[in-house]
Amino acid sequence: MPFVSHNPVTEVVNAQFPSLDKAALQAALANTHSAQRTWHPTYFAERTQVLQRLGAGLLARRDEFARLITEEMGKIRREARAEIEKCALLCNYYASEGEAFLVPEPIAISGARSYVTYTPIGVVLGVMPWNFPFWQVFRFAVPALMAGNGVALKHAPNVPRCALAIESLFQDAGMPAHLLTNLFVEDALVAEAIASPHVHAVTVTGSERAGRSVASLAGAHLKKCILEFGGSDPFIVLADADLEWAARQGLSSRYMNCGQACIAAKRFILTPEIADDFIRLFADRVASLKTGDPFDPAVSLGPVARKDLRDQLDLQVKAALSGGAEPLLGGHPLPGAGWFYAPTILDKITTQSPIWQQELFGPVALIVRARDEADALRLANDTPYGLGSTLWSRDSQRAEQLAQQIDAGCTFINGLVKSDPRLPFGGTKNSGFGRELSSHGIREFTNIKTVWIRSPA
């Protein structure tokens, strides 16, 4: 089956590419392993220069790459440009800090000299999603390569042109041929890649179902894996919150990238004192969103990336409405060409709602009314997911104490959740395990090795 690139606005096929068979896959992985063995002994100064060139290349061609993102998965143009710029920031961050994160660490032991080193793990297979087609790849590949590893990229099948552009960009920056290899392989062959002796670790960002399968395969072959799945992030608004600010940030957090983000606010959990006022402010802003051509600067919401994703989202919304939810806005696909869905707010969501245990990946916000502050925290944790969370309160010290009670990989207070190169990123529970970014992320893809030397007599 070929990898097909559709335009989600026009539904027209942009391009298609043949998938690799088993023999071609193994040959590609062997080439990446060979390139990694050459890359491993390079000096950090050389790797730093490559990352600097990579960041410069991204900025020089940001409009070209942003157009590619928009054409393949429908992200509005300004958000696509911001994604490219964020990738460049990541490159420069690890070019500046990567070596320091991997410096051997001495450990004082009587009668001996000992230290810990961070050596490359080998070839990292990355199974990546379509919603941030450049950022998701760069987020794992840049620190992995800075640490001396190779990268085999199995990208989502609906963004093949983005995958090819990324591969070409890394080569243009001066990395050895095949050090980052794009693999057009169908899901059935991912097991072959994991089992290959040329692959030494796996990282997955995507659905829980796919991630569980990959984790099982990695475990069977005793290969380390880092997993980042979906989320049902709580957006908790307390009685003393700045409602104007929270509503404005809530709009960005839920509807950025057409709501197709694992760290987007999904459940707006409101204490009773402010629930109606917040909903009014929030709904007014959502109603002002303009849906349409993502190349139009006036548009704030593009299409859902694929028809099957839009249809699945609509089924989830219909089930919620049948279960007692009330539509404040939207709740339906938009007519005409393209995979557009109306910006939606569903009120009266309870723990009995069919979507309580699910993730909504699209422009749909859920309103949850808590009895009080303690109930808000209970509702926030009553989910199988644990990726991000936010708390909104004018009492930052009190909010910081409450944040410790939320089961999630991160809690942002009075700001929307975002991945920042300087901060570790990852989840708990069914949102996965392991961390990306910061010093923690680059060390995930290394062998943490102890060296112990007896002092001479």
Q: Give the C-alpha separation, 75 to 27, whole Å.
A: 34
Q: Is 329 helix (H, G, I), strand (E, B) or coil?
A: strand
Q: Give the C-alpha separation, 239 to 273, whole Å.
A: 6
**What distances in angstroms separate CA 224 from CA 155, 323, 434, 436, one per listed residue?**
19, 41, 10, 14
Tokens of 269: 């959990």
Q: In this structure, which amino acid lies at residue 377?
A: L
Decide the pairing of beta strands 390-392 and 224-228.
unpaired
Q: Give the C-alpha separation, 164 to 156, whole Å.
A: 12
Q: In this structure, which amino acid lies at residue 106?
A: P
**What distances in angstroms separate CA 358 from CA 218, 229, 355, 441, one per listed residue?**
26, 12, 5, 28
Q: Give the C-alpha separation, 175 to 172, whole Å.
A: 7
Q: Give the C-alpha separation, 243 to 251, whole Å.
A: 12
Q: Is 228 a catalytic residue?
A: yes
Q: Give the C-alpha separation, 197 to 216, whole Å.
A: 17
Tokens 């809690």 belong to residue: 411
331 — alpha (psi -120 to 50), left (phi > 0) or beta? left
Q: Give the C-alpha separation, 428 to 387, whole Å.
A: 6
Catalytic residue chosen out of the listed positions 72, 83, 167, 228: 228
Beta bridge partners of 227: 204, 433
Contact 436, 229 (CB under 8 A): no
Contact 156, 129 (CB under 8 A): yes
Catalytic residue chosen out of the listed positions 91, 258, 262, 410: 262
Beta bridge partners of 452: 114
Q: Give the C-alpha separation, 65 to 88, whole Å.
A: 12
Contacts of 68 (CB under 8 A, 6+ apart): 161, 162, 165
Give just the sign of the alpha carbon dihedral 269, 271, 274, 277.
positive
Q: Quick one: 98 exposed, middle or buried, by C-beta within 10 A (0-12, 13-18, 19+)?
A: buried
Q: What amino acid positions are annotated as catalytic residues?
A: 228, 262
